[in-house]
Amino acid sequence: MNDLRMRILDPRIGQEWPLPHYASADAAGMDLRACLEAPLQLAPGQAELVSAGFAMHIGDPRVTALLLPRSGLGHRGLVLGNLVGLIDADYQGPLKISLWNRGSADILIEPGERVAQMILVPVLRPSVTVVSKFAASERGADGFGSTGRQ
């Protein structure tokens, strides 16, 4: 995939604020901005759906986009209400970001503030094969947490 199609919905994107882009040469995620008309105060426990200011179309079923919190903001309590957003390749609607204050203090979000990041990742879509048993492995049927035992 070499091309991600975006349709600008908020005229401030690309004018006042840059298009989603990689902030450094080795960045994995594109920063997404809160396209708000006024500052948004999120109280502890409060969640709001915020526009990213654009619609997009990946168009390649081998690729999906994941929306993730920005590390520094997540540490301070601003995370995504759905934890990770998943954008399917055939989706063409407005991109919305579910912002959730999981912290103990109010969080003020300014219009145009970078609030999330988006990464594009490959998708594997294997066929499902039903079997009566699995081939032996070192771990076998040991369950959750079994590799942490001494």
Residue 84 lies in a domain: yes
**Across 113-131, average pLDDT:** 96
146 domain residue, yes or no: no
Euclidean distance between CA atoms 78 and 76, whole angstroms = 6
In a domain, 136, yes or no: no
Is 0.85 surpassed by the pTM of this model? yes
Residue 150 has pLDDT above 60, yes or no: no
Identify the three-state secondary structure at position 53: strand
Predicted confidence (pLDDT) per residue in 45-103, tens digit: 999 999 999 999 999 999 999 999 998 888 889 999 999 999 999 999 999 999 999 99
Has residue 143 been placed in a domain?
no
Q: Is residue 148 very low, low, confident or very high in pLDDT (cuts 50, 70, 90)?
A: low
Residue 134 lies in a domain: no
Number of compact structural domains in the chain: 1
Mean predicted confidence (pLDDT) in 24-53:
97
* Residue 145 placed within a domain: no
Residue 28: inside a domain = yes
Question: Which residues of the chain form beta strands (DSSP E)?
Answer: 5-8, 30-33, 40-42, 47-57, 63-69, 78-80, 85-87, 94-101, 107-109, 114-122
Residue 148 forms part of a structural domain: no
pLDDT band at 149 (very low <50, low <70, confident <90, very high): low
Q: For position 117, what pLDDT does the model report? A: 96
Average the pLDDT over 102-126 and give the result: 96
As a whole number, mean pLDDT of residues 129-143 equals 86
Q: For residue 101, what is the domain's CATH number?
A: 2.70.40.10
Residue 3 has pLDDT above 90, yes or no: no
Q: How far apart are CA 67 and CA 134, in angstroms?
A: 34
For residues 57 and 82, give the distance between their C-alpha atoms in angstroms, rounded to a whole number. Answer: 21
- Burial (CB < 10 A; 0-12, 13-18, 19+), residue 127, is exposed
- Give the largest Cα separation in the chain, rounded: 59
Q: What's the domain range around 9?
A: 5-122
Gap between the Cα atoms of 119 and 64, Å rounded: 8
C-alpha distance from residue 104 to each of 16, 36, 71, 127 (Å):
32, 23, 17, 45
